[in-house]
Chains A and B, each alone.
Chain A
Amino acid sequence: GAVVSQHPSRVICKSGTSVKIECRSLDFQATTMFWYRQFPKQSLMLMATSNEGSKATYEQGVEKDKFLINHASLTLSTLTVTSAHPEDSSFYICSAQVGSYEQYFGPGTRLTVT
């Protein structure tokens, strides 16, 4: 099946700094990529939908200026958590969609803000 990678898998940063997470579709071109966040013992929460070359569509309650999404190519989307705070510590997961078919999920990135 299609493979989606994320980098880094784990990151620890200090409060106030920014962190960039990459999501790549390795063997296919993704028409759309999605970003999710998951807190411990909770379900995945959709943050935003990203299409190559256009602005991301954010879900209600997600701050677009804090979670910057760039989708520069059909195989790469990045999520930058700006001015991170401890409450941003979470498991961030991306997914990539091929045409109208199912979404393939990345392995996730665990962010810890100290």
Chain B
Amino acid sequence: DAKTTQPTSMDCAEGRAANLPCNHSTISGNEYVYWYRQIHSQGPQYIIHGLKNNETNEMASLIITEDRKSSTLILPHATLRDTAVYYCCASGYSSASKIIFGSGTRLSIRP
């Protein structure tokens, strides 16, 4: 499982786009990039995942570099409820593929 590196903390103004970077330079060809977030004292919540193409859903967009060594999660219009720890993980796409969590980025949204 590839190791991921994220900034320890970030902050963003409410209503602005929050861009959370992640480095995964050792990612292998069959590993996907997953993003989860964890609000205090709750279980992680799935946000988005991708292999090499950029992805978008109702929560966020995922931009993966062409060499797949890094990615950026974009929350287009951050709200106070987006305050959480965001985890970027690399994992295979098969039954029993483990997700190994790194240290994550603590995102604070300021009013």
Q: Decide if B94 touches A100 in the complex (CB within 8 Å).
A: yes
Q: Decide if A91 touches B101 in the complex (CB within 8 Å).
A: no
Check A93 for interface membership: any CB of B closer than 8 A: yes
> How many residues from A make CB contacts under 8 Å with B?
27
Question: Chain B residues with Cβ under 8 A from A29's Cβ?
Answer: none
Interface of B is mostly: loop
Can you give 21 contacting A-B residue pairs, CB < 8 Å?
A4-B43, A32-B95, A34-B99, A36-B101, A43-B104, A45-B101, A46-B99, A49-B98, A51-B96, A91-B41, A93-B44, A95-B43, A99-B95, A100-B95, A102-B46, A102-B49, A103-B99, A104-B46, A105-B45, A106-B43, A108-B41
Least CB distance from A10 to B in Å reads: 10
Q: How large is the interface on B (under 10, 10 to 19, 20 to 34, 35 or more residues)?
A: 20 to 34
Least CB distance from B35 to A in Å reads: 10
Q: CA separation between A103 and B91, bound complex, in Å?
A: 11
One of A1, A44, A45, A49 near B44 (C-beta < 8 A): A44
Question: Chain B residues with Cβ under 8 A from A31's Cβ?
Answer: 95-96
Q: Decide if A43 touches B45 in the complex (CB within 8 Å).
A: no
